[in-house]
Structure 1
């Protein structure tokens, strides 16, 4: 079956030979337009994939330390009946783990070095049900025995304070004791029995773990202040939290991980949208370079257009020839950009370390960014819109030059030929 002559001629014009200097220049401009579209599409895919990977990596590491849902006692105080609360939350079919906890801010001191930290009192036997800290701590949580006042530090905090396993640190509790000499802070010497490395700098540098019973004695509490939950599906945290708020018997404060870190995730989503818009403009600029390419082609092919018109070609057929030419550039550029972008995005974990080694530089310092490696996660929900937008812009750029080609007057075009 023979192909339509519009398709054949449009494809031939795309591959314009270099018989003349003018044809060669037009072919060069067409290649530049194609390259611009490819680079714009590739940049969009790479950036969006990195941002997806960054969000997923931080979320997973964050949820390795933070539970999916936290239930606090009335007014932020102690739970009236922790066993009853644990029983009630476990009735929900979405809850796969629950553990009591105490959390407060305090100071950790060793000699003259003093650091602020969040002290979390946990039940070592139940903690693996709600977070991955047991795996991050490599068995050290089992050393948190009630009454021994042991403590586990984040790896970055221990490194900053120069603390090793077996060293003693002083925990300074807020709200000191009132004595005739004034208010004296409550101090308790703790023994470091290990460290944990969650891969999240914020928590590794500012979180310490103690046994929940030791925390209650140090902070003068009669029991846990909340319960931490793990769900089957973390994406249903908000829905399950709202359900628990209505089913629990008591005036409890229920917070899920999406609300606790809402500002951070909202900022990432906003940045992702802005980057998408900005990089789409790059694709638009490259796509509309096709306008100049096609205008030059139409000018160069006026005699050919006139001959085709005298042979019976309709204005629609002439328009179709140049639409095919511009569309071919857009399709090839988009496909090349997709392949190149996906190749970079799927191998960025290898390319970035190689560049860092070559340039002797670190692109993601741990003390600035939340993670220390460049993640990437290409998603079809991002790739498909990028490809569609690129193709639409390319097709749109062909319309005006193609319409102008269809309006060429054969007699006038052949007058000086």
Structure 2
């Protein structure tokens, strides 16, 4: 079968048994280093993607894709507005809400909290919070009954159980004959919810929309509408499009604006981790330089003979570039296969290791997410493999150029 001369000789040099075993050892170390770096980078980025996905899903279980609020006052015409918004083909759900900061007390325990007034029949269309409510507490949220559902950590802090009474104190004071006193209302604890994020489990309480509007003195108004689109990643431009259809009378905010700093921090961490682990591949790739320099010194007489037979400097350069590229290609392939296999099975391997060692790496009482999720994305695999191959090819340039500069007379003088 026909083979180009450079490819034929490059393959022969790679597969031949060298007199210098140290050169072969360095070649294996270079290949193993590239494979290890690629495997580590694919696995780490997949785990970070998994954490980002889990956090995004948990956050969006509590935060809608977008919200509509009045420019400077509560929404009083929210029913007509809701019908108008639901006419948009990309809007799948719209639920009214009332929010505000309050202080909750029970016995000697006091804590600040954010209340959210909801209509249970509509809330399920925009969030998953009711899926995390224990028992039938959601059905017990009825207008005028003044029942409340506490986050699990908030309930523990207040030492409150189902059926207990807690006091909700709003920041708005009222004037009485006794002076200025805060507005106070007693609520019955209907249940608790747990979403696995301390921010919400510790600082959020749910109640019926009418009860929340009453204690916040909104009369018939509400704070706004929470929306769900058919694609959460399209929320930024769908929110802008929706704002234009509403003639700019309302403020429309999407979830990326409300949590922009958080997701920007996650993206920055992924970028930094990519750069750091790429250095492992870089070190391993540049071991190819040492390997090829030693091979060039060992093959000086062969290079001289090839030159006298008519091989051009370019042909000599390509021979050694092919030899170095083979090391990089095999190392990258091994690392890619190992990285994909590890990323796809990390959710199974980590619990097995925890069981074997008798220790949990991510305790549930410390971390938001107690397991190790993984989300393998092919664009990351292609990007990592491409970087490894490019670094391997770059590492071959200097030794190959040095080989092409070999003078036949000098090389053969003492042969």
Q: TM-score range by the shorter chain?
A: over 0.9
Give 1:55 shift. Answer: 1.4
| Alignment match of 1:273 (pick from 251, 271, 274) | 271
The equivalent of 1:56 in structure 2 is 53
- The answer on whether the counterparts of 1:14 and 1:27 sit within 8 Å (CA) in structure 2 is no
The equivalent residue for 2:193 is: 196
Residue 17 in 1 paired to residue 17 in 2? yes
CA 1:147–1:80 in structure 2 vs 1: closer, same or farther (change >3 Å)?
closer
CA distance in 2, matches of 1:305, 1:413: 8
Which runs of 4 or more aligned residues in structure 1 lie more than 6 Å from their structure 2 counterparts after TM superposition?
none
Deviations 1:250-288 (A, max 9, x none): 732211111110111111122222222222222122111
Match in the other structure for 2:23: 26
Q: What is aligned with 1:258?
A: 256
8 A Cα contact 1:121 1:214, kept in partner: yes
1:132 aligns with 128
Q: SS of 1:129's equivalent? A: coil
| Alignment partners' CA distance in 2, 1:356 and 1:154 | 29
CA drift of 1:116 comes to 1.7
Is the alpha carbon distance of 1:384 and 1:144 closer, same or farther for their aligned partners in structure 2, counting shifts above 3 Å? Answer: same
Evaluate the alpha carbon distance shift between residue 300 and residue 275 of structure 1 in structure 2; reply closer, same or farther with a 3 A threshold.
Answer: same
Matched, 1:174 2:171: yes
Distance 2:180 2:343 in 1: 58
Residue 6 in 1 paired to residue 3 in 2? no
Instruction: Give, in whole Å, the separation in 2 of the partners of 1:173 and 1:367.
Output: 31
> What is the TM-score when the length of structure 1 is the normalising length?
0.92
Partners of 1:154 and 1:366 in 2: how far apart? Answer: 16
Cα distance, 1:12–1:113 mapped onto 2, change above 3 Å: farther
CA contact (8 A) 2:173 2:182 kept: yes
- Report the counterpart of residue 395 of structure 1 in structure 2: 393
Is 2:336 the counterpart of 1:338?
yes
Q: Which runs of 5+ in 1 are unaligned?
A: none
User: Structure 1 residue 39 and structure 2 residue 36: aligned?
Assistant: yes
Please report how far the alpha carbon of residue 59 of structure 1 lies from its aligned counterpart in structure 2 after TM superposition.
0.9
Structure 2 residue 81 is the aligned partner of structure 1 residue 85: yes
Separation in structure 1 between the aligned mates of residue 345 and residue 158 of structure 2, nearest angstrom: 37
What's the counterpart of residue 235 of structure 1? 233
Answering whether residue 213 of structure 2 is matched by residue 216 of structure 1, we say: yes
Unmatched segments (≥5 aa) in structure 2:
none
Counterpart Cα distance in 2 of 1:14 and 1:108: 74
Partner of 1:206: 203
Question: Quick check: 2:328–2:389 contact (8 Å CA) kept in 1?
Answer: yes
CA distance in 2 between counterparts of 1:360 and 1:165 reads 35
Q: TM-score, normalised by structure 2?
A: 0.93
Question: How far apart are 1:97 and its partner, in Å?
Answer: 0.9
CA-CA distance at 1:400 after TM superposition: 1.5
Q: How many positions carry a matched residue from both structures?
A: 413
Conservation of the 8 A alpha-carbon contact between 1:85 and 1:248 = no
- State the secondary structure of the residue aligned to 2:48: helix
Question: Root-mean-square deviation (CA), in Å?
Answer: 2.1
Q: CA deviation at 1:296?
A: 0.6
> Residues of 2 paired with 1:401 and 1:262: CA distance?
47
Residue 97 of structure 1 aligns to a residue whose secondary structure is strand
Contact 2:76 2:222 in 1 (8 A): no
For 2:352 and 2:179, locate their aligned partners in 1 and report how far apart those are by CA, in whole Å: 60
Contact 1:151-1:191 at 8 Å conserved across structures: yes
Aligned to 2:104: 108
Give, in angstroms, the shift of residue 366 of structure 1: 4.8
- 1:289 paired residue among 284, 287, 290: 287
* Preserved contact between residue 43 and residue 341 of structure 1 (Cα < 8 Å): yes
User: Deviations along 1:97-134, whole A, 9 cap, x unmatched?
Assistant: 11111001112222212222110000011111111122
What is the CA distance between 1:362 and its match in structure 2? 4.2
Cα 1:365–1:160 shift into 2, 3 Å: farther
Between 236-245 and 306-315, report the one with greater CA deviation. Answer: 306-315
* Candidates 403, 407, 410, aligned match of 2:408: 410
Tell me the distance in 2 between the aligned counterparts of 1:162 and 1:197: 16
Of stretches 291-300 and 243-252 in structure 1, the one that deviates more from structure 2 is 243-252
SS in 1 for 2:62: coil
